[in-house]
Amino acid sequence: MTLPDATGHFGPYGGRFVPEALVAALDELGEAHRTSQQDPDFVAELDRLLTTYAGRPTPLTDARRLSEHVGGARVLLKREDLAHTGSHKINNVLGQALLTKRMGKKRVIAETGAGQHGVATATAAALFGFDCTVYMGEEDTRRQALNVARMRLLGAEVVPVSTGTKTLKDATNEAFRDWVANVETTHYAIGSVVGPHPFPAMVRDFQRIIGVEARQQCLDLVGRLPDAVVACVGGGSNAMGIFHAFLPDADVALIGCEAGGDGVDTGRHAAPLTAGSPGVLHGARSYLMQDEDGQTQTTTSISAGLDYPGVGPEHAYLRDSGRAHYRGVTDADAMAALEVLAKKEGILCAIESAHAVAGAFQWLSEQAESSDRVVVVSCSGRGDKDVDTAARWFGLVTAEEVAEAELVRAHEGEQP
């Protein structure tokens, strides 16, 4: 059976928990998505953009020094960090931009946490000539100031959101509010496999390419399928994208790494599949972090892109069915993995992706005999945006140096 069903359910998860005003737009979007998949012109145009604009296929890198480091297991990195704009987010956004055009809309809005989805959306909006507004939690605009500047350079309006927890969850609320009010002219390009039907299925379909490529590349390189595929899970789009082609391969373990923050047992984390419970948030039923009254709980993670209390409904389904396994990876473990990857392979990955690298290390260490194992890790994004955070974490710069550098930058940036 292919999921979701006709009403957008993955078993008990998914569906539509939305204001009535959005139902017509969701129906229109579902219809546009369905017909576009069968339209050879659409498929060819998306393929052309992915190839000539986004730089697909992305390579599968044989990380030899990393393999040595983990005792011989073969670690293969799916390099979404090399895609245009620096993460997998571009795959989804190019697909949704084509759909926006197909529906005759001229404005796109988006929510963003780390800023990668916002940057990807701003990029596609520039390419297609759309107006673009990106909602970003005020706290994240500070954590990811570089990406705010990138979006503005690309011509997008960035709106800092100061309600609630001032992070991705509240940016998503704000984007939904904009959408309800402007739905006739505006497409909400949601950034992950979350939200009401058809978003989870549609975003997955646009991200599937990651796994389709990785599966074939692994076969070509190693001559067999991997033992495990590991990805980080915020909303879950890079994970769903790389998992999907492997779902029928029952011997391939699928491992999703949520943000463990200070540790899943401390309560300060963003790991709903590992430590949350089923409920409804942002239009769909899935696992989420909530208190006994069903109020959404605040999350903690060093990674803005994983700092989200919900997760896509298909992951909830895969968790319950046992086809995929989820674990929390702490800030400390993720940052340690980021450093190892940088020093062993010369790849500075996003902090989000570092959770997957750390999860792969953990999974390998749990195997009785790991040296002949093959693991594919989703390197979902590059780490340029995280250099400030990493420099502080590792104490590579002192607080005074940061302040001084910012002063110098401020002076240099002044108009003569």
Ligand X SMILES: Cc1ncc(COP(=O)(O)O)c(C=O)c1O
Catalytic center residues: 89, 111, 380
Q: Which is nearer to other proteins, 131 or 388 (CB)?
A: 131
* Interface characters, 237-266, with ligand X (x: CB under 6 A): xxx---------------------------
Alpha-carbon Rg for the chain, nearest whole angstrom, is 20
| Contact partner at residue 301 from ligand X, other proteins, none, CB < 5 to 8 Å by partner kind | none
Is residue 147 within the footprint of ligand X (CB under 6 A)?
Answer: no
The distance of closest approach from Cβ of residue 238 to ligand X in the complex, given in angstroms and rounded to an integer, is: 3
Q: Which segment (50-58, 175-183, 241-249, 399-407) binds other proteins by CB under 8 A? A: 175-183
* Exposure letters 211-249 (e unless 16+ CB within 10 A, then b): bbbbbebbeeeeeeebbbbbbbbbbbbbbbbbbbbbbee
Hey, which residues between 183 and 202 contact other proteins (CB under 8 A)?
183-184
Q: 201: Cβ–Cβ under 8 A, 6 or more apart, which residues?
A: 3, 4, 8, 33, 314
We find the least distance from the C-beta atom of residue 12 to other proteins, in angstroms, to be 11
**Residue 92 binding ligand X, by CB under 6 A:** no
Is residue 315 involved in binding other proteins (CB under 8 A)? no
Angle, CA 197 vertex, CA 214 and CA 113 arms, to 5°: 65
Alpha carbons 246 and 210: distance in angstroms, whole number: 11
The residue among 251, 112, 81, 268 whose CA lies nearest residue 191 is 112
**Exposure class string for 97-117: b at 16+ Cβ within 10 A, else e:** bbbbbbbebebbbbbbbbbbb
| Cα 78 to Cα 60: distance, rounded to the nearest angstrom | 5
Please, which residue, 7 or 415, has the CB nearer to other proteins?
7
Q: Which of 67, 87, 123, 144 binds ligand X (CB under 6 A)?
A: 87
Sequence-separated (6 or more) residues with CB below 8 Å from residue 335: 302, 351, 354, 390, 393, 394
Q: Which residues pair with 76 in a beta bridge?
A: 62, 376
For 62: left if phi > 0, alpha if psi spans -120 to 50, otherwise beta; the answer is: beta
Amino acid (one-letter) located at 189: A
Query: Looking at beta carbons, which residue is closest to ligand X?
Result: 381
We find the least distance from the C-beta atom of residue 199 to other proteins, in angstroms, to be 14
Which residues, numbered 271-330, are part of the site for ligand X (CB under 6 A)?
A: 305-306
Examine residue 58 and tell whether it contacts ligand X (CB under 6 A).
Answer: no
Binding to ligand X by CB under 6 A, coded x per residue (else -) over 109-138, reads ----xx-xx---------------------
Residue type, 275: A
The correct pick among 103, 225, 275, 280 for binding other proteins (CB under 8 A) is 280
Contacting other proteins within 3-62 (CB under 8 A): 7, 15-25
396 binds, among ligand X, other proteins, none (CB under 5 to 8 A by kind): none
Q: Which tokens go with 403?
A: 């302040």
Q: How far apart are CA 25 and CA 400, in angstroms?
A: 51
Question: Rule CB under 8 A: is residue 281 a binding residue for other proteins?
Answer: yes
> Should residue 233 be labelled a site residue for ligand X when binding is judged by CB under 6 A?
yes
Binding stretches for ligand X (CB under 6 A): 87, 113-114, 116-117, 192, 232-239, 305-306, 350, 352-353, 380-381
Binding stretches for other proteins (CB under 8 A): 7, 15-25, 163-164, 169-170, 173, 176-177, 180-184, 279-283, 290, 292-296
